[in-house]
Amino acid sequence: MTAPVRPRRVVFRKRRLRVDDVTVVDRPMLKRALGGTIVGNTMEWFDVGVFGYLITTMGPVFLPEADPSVQTLFLLGTFAATFIARPAGGVFFGWLGDKIGRQRVLAATLILMAASTFALGLLPGYAQVGIWAAALLVAVKLVQGFSTGGEYAGATTFVSEYSPDKRRGFFASFLDMGSYLGFALGAALVSGLQLGLGQEAMEAWGWRIPFLIAGPLGAIAIWFRLKIEESPTFQAALEAQENTSKDLAADDEAVAKGPLGIVRAYWRQILVAMVLVAAANTVGYALTSYMPTYLTVSKGYDEIHGTLLTIPVLVVMSLCIPLTGKLSDRIGRRPVLWIGALSTVALSIPAFLLIGVGSVWATLAGLSLIAFPVTFYVANLASALPAQFPTASRYGAMGIAYNFAVAIFGGTTPFIVDALIQVTGNDMMPAYWLMATSAVGAVAIWFLRESAQRPLPGSLPSVATDAEAREVVARQEDDERIDLEHMPLTEVPVALADDGAALQLPLDHPAAVEAAEREGVDLGATALEARVTGEEPVASGPISGQVPAVAGAGASGAR
């Protein structure tokens, strides 16, 4: 008989994954969740597209006595004001989403967003109430910006938490596909109205139609969103709150302290996310919201052609977005994002030179060169950014990072580049601005945590099939993508012997109790989970040299 060996020390490590820990995604529910979030994003960008393409039309409605350049700057400034309100909405709805759940908050943001968009179509013009018309326009856009502040951050969080780890990039990319298709839909509607009604009728009343359509569209979108259930990842996190490790407990503490606590805890990840959002959205909004104004004001196209030329480019780009999302699942988020950043630096000058030629085909080619990096950027931010933050603070951190970056850089892009052109007289200023922001974005990608095919921080693995769940459990010690230390698993006492062997101790073992008191571990939570899951208690006894070794830094030994 082998003599007992005195343990060198007792430590606490996460227990091993079991098959029932792994979330097997309900595919019909995933489709419903994806559809419910896409309709909200589509509607948001439908409004962005409509407003951006009606800037030159709405100027005479709200400021008829001003110079056309002043009208344009006012409408672009109003557009930017929407994004100034977004951080407040992102902070509020993000904090709320981490407290009460993603689904209910996303329903609230959509209701507020649909109502404010519909209200735009009912606003009186300058002829009815004078300068108050412009003030009311700004006020409604601020309300709209507040609601959309919680929309994209919540949608990306929600879909990322619903998706299997190996296909998160593909499924999350559909959000931005819907966004740009919504933008194209808004642009197509405005173009059709301009062709059918003419500029005089558009200024008189036709500009209201796209906004009023948001009423019934919003009702349909809200119905879809109310049909989806809370994300399984968030539900699992709630159930695991009593069984947190030190890392997860620190995250709960950060959430309890509100937005400032989240910023203090995750400022590095938030900073990286903000830089990437700024770089991507500068290019995105230059293509979508500013380009019709640029083609009309700087390149001599009429309003209709300035709108029509961007529509086919947006449609083709939208259809390609899921492909780049799928590519990121295969080769990683960082390589795909680098393609977006570096191609922006390389293609911006050729793109604006082609647009400057003046022919339709040259303009389409130039717009396509701008759309190319946008496809690689936006398809992957939806899956890469939520994966930088733990479940308990994911919505809140995303609300802060995304909306502050969009407010400072994305939404102000049309205003900034138009002002730069007017100050310098150089039509190439947009290209230089895009290059500068993406050069900084390329540096930020270096500090981004790679998340492809990995569980979300603070979450258990998510897979598509039962067979894949068994595979994950079988290879957990050998797969570097499985990090047990950042999963909501209970910690168990493990005795390390002098010869390097290790064994999980029973919870009532004196050495385990002493170690728990020293490290502040709640053995009661571990015992409660053992009873709930029906695990067999570990037998008491001496630590023997002939015991199964603990494999890997995060394992707790054979059970």
* Cα distance between residue 345 and residue 240, in whole Å: 45
The 8-class DSSP code of residue 206 comes to I
Task: Give me the pLDDT at residue 523, please.
Answer: 61
Same domain for 334 and 290, yes or no, is yes
CB-count burial class (<10 Å; 0-12, 13-18, 19+) for 475:
exposed
Tokens of 321: 């977005």
Task: Give the tens place of pLDDT for each residue, 406-438.
Answer: 888 876 777 788 788 888 888 888 899 999 999
Beta bridge partners, 23, equal 462
The answer to whether 349 and 324 have CB atoms below 8 angstroms apart is no
The residue from 418, 446, 474 where one domain ends is 446
Q: Judge whether residue 450 has pLDDT over 90.
A: yes
pLDDT bucket at 275, cuts 50 / 70 / 90: very high
Pick the last residue of a domain from 446, 476, 498: 446
Query: What are the beta bridge partners of residue 503?
Result: 495
Q: How far apart are the first and last CA of the chain?
A: 22
Q: What is the pLDDT of residue 240?
A: 60
220 and 92 fall within a common domain: yes
Cα–Cα distances in angstroms (integers) from residue 227 to residues 29, 101, 161, 356, in the given order:
10, 15, 17, 48
Stretch 101-130: mean pLDDT = 88
487/185: higher pLDDT: 185
Least confident of 285-289, 369-373, 404-408: 285-289
User: So what's the pLDDT on residue 38?
Assistant: 86
Residue finishing a domain among 384, 418, 446: 446
Query: In this predicted structure, what is the pLDDT of residue 252?
Result: 54
Backbone angles phi, psi at 503, to 5 degrees: -150, 140
At 383 the pLDDT is: 93
Q: Domain for residue 178, yes or no?
A: yes
- The verdict on 140 and 64 lying in the same domain is yes
User: Could you tell me if 7 and 105 lie in one domain?
Assistant: no
| Residue 484, in any domain of the structure | no
CATH number of residue 121's parent domain: 1.20.1250.20
Query: Looking at residues 395-415, what average pLDDT do you find?
Result: 85
Q: What percent of the chain has pLDDT over 90?
A: 29
**274 and 256 housed in the same domain:** yes
> Residue 510 domain-assigned?
yes
Residue 385 pLDDT level (bands cut at 50, 70, 90):
very high
Name the DSSP letter for residue 484. G
Mean pLDDT of the chain: 81
Q: Which residues pair with 24 in a beta bridge?
A: 463
* 95-113 mean pLDDT: 88
CB atoms under 10 Å from CB of 177, counted, come to 24
- Tell me what the mean pLDDT of segment 34-46 comes to: 83
Same domain membership, residue 8 and residue 52: no
Assign 5 a pLDDT band (cuts: 50, 70, 90).
Answer: very low
510 with 365, same domain: the answer is no
Look at residues 449, 441, 442 and name the one whose alpha carbon lies nearest to residue 405: 441
Q: Give residue 530's pLDDT band: very low, low, confident or very high (50, 70, 90).
A: low
Res. 452 pLDDT band, cuts 50 70 90: very high
Per-position b or e across 364-396, b if 16+ CB within 10 A of its CB: bbbbbbbbbbbbbbbbbbbbbbbbbbbbbbbbb
Place of tokens 């709150």: 241
Kindly report which listed range (91-105, 253-267, 507-521) carries the lowest average pLDDT score: 507-521
Does residue 458 lie in a domain region?
no
The rounded distance, in Å, linking the Cα atoms of 59 and 98 is 40
DSSP-assigned letter for residue 507: T
Give pLDDT, residue 13.
72
- Looking at the fold, whether 237 and 337 belong to one and the same domain comes out as yes
Percent of the chain with pLDDT over 70: 83
Task: Name the domain count of the chain.
Answer: 2
Can you give the pTM of this predicted structure?
Answer: 0.81
Residues 269, 337: one domain?
A: yes
pLDDT on residue 544: 34
**pLDDT of amino acid 555:** 35
| Residue 482 covered by a domain | no
Provide φ and ψ at 301, rounded to 5°. -75, 150
Place of tokens 């309003």: 303
Instruction: Give the closest residue to 480 by CA, choosing from 554, 545, 422, 427.
Output: 554
At 517, the pLDDT band (50, 70, 90 cuts) reads low
In 3-state terms, the chain is what percent helix, strand and coil (to 5)? 75, 5, 25
Same-domain status, 8 and 55? no
Supply the range of the domain harboring residue 347: 19-446
Comparing CA positions, the residue from 333, 240, 261, 326 lying closest to residue 95 is: 261
* pLDDT score at 543: 37
Rounded to an integer, what distance in angstroms lies between the CA atom of residue 288 and that of residue 51?
A: 11
- Residue 253, pLDDT score: 57
DSSP string, 373-421: HHHHHHHHHHHHTGGGS-GGGHHHHHHHHHHHHIIIIITTHHHHHHHHH
**Residue 31: inside a domain:** yes
pLDDT over threshold 80, residue 511: no
**Tokens at residue 217, please?**
């569209």
Tokens of 10: 């007792």
> Which of 79-83, 117-121, 235-239 is predicted with the least confidence, judged by mean pLDDT?
235-239
For the segment 233-256, the average pLDDT, to the nearest whole number, is 57
Residue-wise pLDDT for 311-356, tens only, equals 899 899 999 999 999 999 999 999 999 999 999 999 999 999 998 8
* pLDDT, position 541: 36
The confidence score (pLDDT) of residue 411 equals 64
Judging by beta carbons within 10 Å of its beta carbon (0-12, 13-18, 19+), is residue 480 exposed, middle or buried?
exposed
User: Confidence band (pLDDT; 50, 70, 90) for 254?
Assistant: low
* Dist. CA 275–CA 295, nearest whole Å: 28
Residue 455 lies in a domain: no
| pLDDT of 66 | 81
Q: Do 418 and 504 belong to one domain?
A: no
Q: Are 284 and 409 in contact (CB under 8 A)?
A: no
Flag whether 332 is in a domain: yes
Kindly give the pairing relationship between strand 23-24 and strand 7-14.
unpaired
**Is the same domain home to 415 and 311?**
yes
Are the C-beta atoms of residues 15 and 492 closer than 8 Å to each other? yes
